[in-house]
Structure 1
Amino acid sequence: MLKKVRPTDRPMTTPLFLLRCVQLGISIRDLDLLAIGLVNDMYAENSNDDYKGYKEVATQEYFDKF
Structure 2
Amino acid sequence: MTALFLLRCVQVGISIRDLDLITIGTVNDMYVESGNDTCDYDVLATQDDFDAF
Short-chain TM bin: 0.7 to 0.9
Residue 54 (structure 1) shift: 5.1
**Superposed counterparts of 1:49-64, under 5 Å:** 49-53=37-41, 55-57=43-45, 59=47, 62=50
The alignment-based identity, stated in percent, is 58
Structure 1 residues 37 and 58: alpha-carbon distance in aligned structure 2, compared to 1, 3 A threshold:
farther
Please, what is the CA RMSD of the aligned residues?
2.2
In the other structure, the counterpart of 1:17 is: 5
4+ long deviations beyond 2 Å? none
Aligned pair 1:41/2:10, yes or no? no
TM-score (norm 1): 0.63
Q: Structure 2 unaligned runs (5+)?
A: none
Higher share in helix: 2
Q: Structure 1 unaligned runs (5+)?
A: 1-12
Paired positions, count: 51
